[in-house]
Structure 1
Amino acid sequence: MQQKLRERRERAALTEIEARLGELRTGRAMDTYAVPGWVGDAVSRTWDIFTEPLDRLPDDTPPARLDAWMEELLVAHGVTDRVFVASHLKILPWLECRVPAHGWTARVREAIEEPWMFLSGALDAIVIVTESEYFYEAHLGRGDGS
Structure 2
Amino acid sequence: PTPRVVRPFIAPPSPYAAGHRGLDLAGHSGQQVLAVAAGVITHAGSLAGRGTVTIEHPGGIRSTYEPLAIDTGIWRGRAISTGQVIGTLGVGGSHCAPAVCLHLGALRQGTSGQWSYVEPLFLLLAGEIVLLPSP
The alignment's TM-score, normalised by the length of structure 2, stands at 0.36
The alignment's TM-score, normalised by the length of structure 1, stands at 0.34
Q: Hey, which of these two has a bigger chunk of strand by percent?
A: 2
Q: Hey, which of these two has a bigger chunk of helix by percent?
A: 1
Relative contact order: is structure 1 or structure 2 higher (C-alpha 8 Å, sep ≥ 6)? 1
